[in-house]
Amino acid sequence: MASKRILKELKDLQKDPPVSCSAGPVAGGHVPLAGDIMGPADSPFAGGVFLVTIHYPPDYPFKPPKVSFRTKVFHPNINSNGSICLDILKEQWSPALTISKVLLSICSLLTDPNPDDPLVPEIAHMYKTDRAKYESTARSWTQKYAMG
């Protein structure tokens, strides 16, 4: 079930890729996938290309994929290991969701962090109390780690 579903999602992704995201097989196989997320234009991540890895569990789509950033990103919901705190990758997962929708949700998380459910409390605190400092730090990390 999982591999048929994954192959279908890959075909759909290549036919109709979500805006500013892409994903495809890692060389030589189809699991895990490697994805790219372009930093949204209206965010401090604009101009960056962020690499993600997508691991599918054996019981996908009944369990969510594990998505993690391989590019360092300064964000309250993404930690230094690349783990992402996003409800649809945890308790809000539904088998109706696809990797395309997951990538789009990660894009919107970059634009609209959730500082009330942070993985990195210090960054969440900065986001809430000194937005200008948060944005300039996020911009400088983007230039350092996500712009080649």
pLDDT of residue 13: 85
What CATH number is attached to the domain comprising 47?
Answer: 3.10.110.10
CA distance 4 to 31: 12
Decide if 21 is catalytic: no
User: Would you give the distance in Å from CA 23 to the centre of its chain?
Assistant: 11
- Whole-model pTM: value is 0.90
Collapsing DSSP to helix, strand or coil, 67 comes out as strand
In tens, the pLDDT along 65-113 reads 999 999 999 999 999 999 999 999 999 999 999 999 999 999 999 999 9
CA distance 92 to 67: 15
**Active-site hit among 23, 85, 120, 138:** 85
Count of the separate structural domains present in the chain: 1
CA distances 148 to 22, 51, 71, Å, are: 17, 11, 11
Name the residue range of residue 21's domain.
2-145
